[in-house]
Structure 1
Amino acid sequence: MFTGLSAFPLTPTDETGIDERAFVRLVSRLAAAGVDSIGALGSTGGYAYLSREQRAWAARAAVEAAGTTPVIVGIGALRTRQVLHLAADAHAAGAAAVLLAPMTYQPLTDDEVFGLYEDVTAELAIPLVVYDNPGTTHVTFSDELHGRIAALPNIGSIKIPGMAADAAPARVAALRALVPAHVTIGVSGDWLAAGALTGGADAWYSVLGGLFPETALAITRAAQVGDTAAAVEASDRLEPLWALYRRHGSLRVMSAAAEALNLVASPNLPLPLLGLDPVSRSELEAALHELGLDG
């Protein structure tokens, strides 16, 4: 479950609520494609914008639509009490694991971050993925903090930001030396994933995989069998898409791409988030056509 491709779908949402049929369709596509796990209610899934009731529904719906594919459910929230409630809901829904990023308004100290994971893992009956996402949460994990947290019970994996291919072997090795052997190391940052996977990372927690699972699987499987050239070539081919990610953020790009594929309606992001502007949307549609991803 904590190796290979973990695909993170959108949770299509407007001001009236979640588009339930579209969400189930997105999750079902991933299971049919054969991804290794599905990450419901990650950052791409807009967890921070949803109520507890909406998140509980999405967890149940994802588990049901995924069939035998393990589902990892995001449980991030501002207060520890809220996180514990969300963890209980995810467990009750049948989630195989949970994903926790330390959300904050006030800056958190290392001891406060550790205390969050200590409190949550003490009550968990399923594994937890530590979500290190400083670009969104503005919480920076030191390697020492990762080591402390990874020693807690029920920690199954660490999701870290991607890194350049030439830095990946040393980065992964340094972190692996500090965490227990059973804790896998996964990466996000889709345009950097191929280099990280070929550099020793165990898993790709993928935004791309949430909408284009076959494309992401091709990169992942090549890396897993040691075919570095094929993995890098397949990733480099997606540079038109990666460039849009870097300019607009992966969530907005995948939102517009899902619209282009007629998988979701518009709007599908919760306000105040806005979709791509018309010019950028045209660029995306051209890129999808060029890459053969529009059919």
Structure 2
Amino acid sequence: MFTGLSAFPLTPITEAGIDEKAFAALVGRLAAAGADSIGALGSTGSYAYLTREERARAARIAVEHAGRTPVIVGIGALRTRHVLEAAEDAQNAGVSGVLLAPLSYQPLTEDDVFGLFADVTANLSVPLVVYDNPGTTHFTFTDELYARIAELPHVASVKIPGVPADPAAAQARVQRLRRILPGTATVGVSGDAFGATGLNAGCDAWYSVLAGTFPEPALTITRTAQSGNAEQARAESRRLQPLWDLFARHGSLRVIAEAAAQAGLTPPHSLPLPLRGLEAGDRAQVREVLEHLGLHA
């Protein structure tokens, strides 16, 4: 489950709540495309903006519409108590795993974060992905903290924020992680521009924003890398560079939300306020890139 392509869909939101029909369709689309797992309520899924009831409902919808595809659900929250509630709701929904990022308002120490994972894993019955996303959490894991947390029960994967762009350096990075992590924990790369490089360097999984809306090109990269055709995987990633550039410029969430709307997969303006999406000129750029790359529903 924590190998191959994990596709992270949007959770389309209005001020009235989740657009359940659009969300269910996104999940079903990913299952039909052949994603290896579905990462519901990740950062792309805007989990931090949802109430407990909305998160629990989203978890149930994801499981109901994913068919046989495993569903991993994000459970991060500011307080440990709320993380445990989200974990309970996710498990009751029948998820195959959970994803935990250390959210904070006050800066967290390494002991705070280790304590969070220790408290949560002691109350889990499903596998857990360690979610390292410093761009949103403003917490940076050390390798030593990865190793400590990976020894806890139920920790099945570590989601790292990219790898070096140089293939040799990327391979060295992944090999170092292999040395310090237990053999039971997989290594997954995130940051879509690093997907091909990470998989070619030996990462077990790619936790992908793009795949949550347009799974086909992400599957092409994943399957070619898994087959050992590193250059073809790199070539497909280079083809998508205009999209990676937009992600870097505006943030992947705003870009992929606009792309999904333009493809007719979600309604316009489906991000939670105060997020207002892209300005008109930037929306036009997204349209041009989608047309150039042939990305559509």
Q: Give me the TM-score of the superposition, normalised by structure 2.
A: 0.98
Partner of 2:73: 73
Partner of 2:109: 109
Give unpaired runs (5+ residues) of structure 2.
none
Please say if residues 7 and 206 of structure 1, whose CA atoms lie closer than 8 Å, have aligned partners that are also in contact: yes
1:237 aligned onto 2:239? yes
How far, CA to CA, are the matches of 1:44 and 1:112 in structure 2? 25
Please say if residues 73 and 90 of structure 1, whose CA atoms lie closer than 8 Å, have aligned partners that are also in contact: yes
Please say if residues 200 and 225 of structure 2, whose CA atoms lie closer than 8 Å, have aligned partners that are also in contact: yes
1:163 Cα offset (Å):
1.7
**Matched residue of 2:282: which SS?**
helix
Partner of 1:216: 218
1:24 aligned onto 2:27? no
1:248 aligned onto 2:244? no
1:275 Cα offset (Å):
1.1
How far, CA to CA, are the matches of 2:194 and 2:266 in structure 1? 27
Identity percentage over the alignment? Answer: 64
Please say if residues 193 and 237 of structure 2, whose CA atoms lie closer than 8 Å, have aligned partners that are also in contact: yes
1:161 Cα offset (Å):
0.5
1:294 Cα offset (Å):
3.0
Q: Deviations over 1:163-195 (max 9, x none)?
A: 234221111111111111010000110011101
Q: Deviations over 1:43-93 (max 9, x none)?
A: 000000000000000000000000100000000000000000100000000
Please say if residues 165 and 199 of structure 1, whose CA atoms lie closer than 8 Å, have aligned partners that are also in contact: no
How far, CA to CA, are the matches of 1:196 and 1:128 in structure 2? 21
How far, CA to CA, are the matches of 2:162 and 2:145 in structure 1? 18
How far, CA to CA, are the matches of 2:159 and 2:210 in structure 1? 16
Please say if residues 76 and 99 of structure 1, whose CA atoms lie closer than 8 Å, have aligned partners that are also in contact: yes
Name the amino acid aligned to 2:177.
L
1:124 Cα offset (Å):
0.3
**Aligned positions, number:** 295
How far, CA to CA, are the matches of 1:90 and 1:101 in structure 2? 15
How far, CA to CA, are the matches of 2:176 and 2:139 in structure 1? 20
**Matched residue of 1:117: which SS?**
helix
Name the amino acid aligned to 1:3.
T
Q: Give me the TM-score of the superposition, normalised by structure 1.
A: 0.99
Aligned Cα RMSD in Å?
A: 0.7
**Matched residue of 1:205: which SS?**
strand
Give unpaired runs (5+ residues) of structure 1.
none
